[in-house]
Amino acid sequence: MPVEVDSAERLADIARATVAVARERGTNAVTLRAVAERLGRSTAYITHFVPSRAELMATALEHARAQWDAERRSELGDLAGVERLAALTRWMCTSSPDETVFRSLWIEVIADVRAGHQRAYDVLREVTDATYGMFLDGARAADREEAERIADLLYLTCRGYEVKSVEDPDGWPDERVQHALELLLDTLVFARASPRA
């Protein structure tokens, strides 16, 4: 009788190995062969589950999406209104070693979607579109008339931070970003919400 293979667990292993290779050697080093070596497997084993480098990226980003969803739920808890919006904004503008790796992967995917990265790009769009929706929902609690502009500003600030955290992590540590973010939140969110509270 053949042994049952848990494809989801194999894909999770491949995603973790992809992230490990990117963390240790940079995103350019992510190849089918490098991931296979990291897992102590053959390249054929990897291609059985993930047929290309672009699919490696997509698999890693799908794995990240599940992780981000869980972390966001934990971070936001039962918060509502402007407090939820502020917590979401703060959470979006923090870093961890793996977060920097994921950001490097998505920057590469966005930069060259034509190189077979369409599935990874679609994953990114789903994540970013959903995040914008959360910003918009929270911004409506602060100012219904200007909700879209508030959501736009917070969203663009967070997306810009994600690029700078990869480009110049030493120049943009979390402390610097959070300090600037608090000024933005005070001006854009809390000042608008307080008269209506």
Alpha-carbon distance values, 77 to 64, 83, 135, 197 (Å): 20, 11, 16, 21
Looking at the predicted structure, is the pLDDT value of residue 196 above 70? no
Amino acid 154: pLDDT: 95
For domain 53-196, the CATH superfamily is Tetracycline Repressor, domain 2 (1.10.357.10)
Residue 32: φ, ψ to 5° = -60, -40
Each residue of 9-67: pLDDT tens digit? 999 999 999 999 999 999 999 999 999 999 999 999 999 999 999 889 889 999 988 88
Rounded to whole angstroms, the Cα distance separating 148 from 114 reads 31
Looking at the predicted structure, is the pLDDT value of residue 150 above 80? yes
- Which residue ranges make up each domain of the chain? 53-196
Rounded to whole angstroms, the Cα distance separating 82 from 32 reads 44
Q: Is 15 left (phi over 0), alpha (psi -120 to 50) or beta?
A: alpha
Each residue of 100-119: pLDDT tens digit? 888 898 888 888 776 677 88
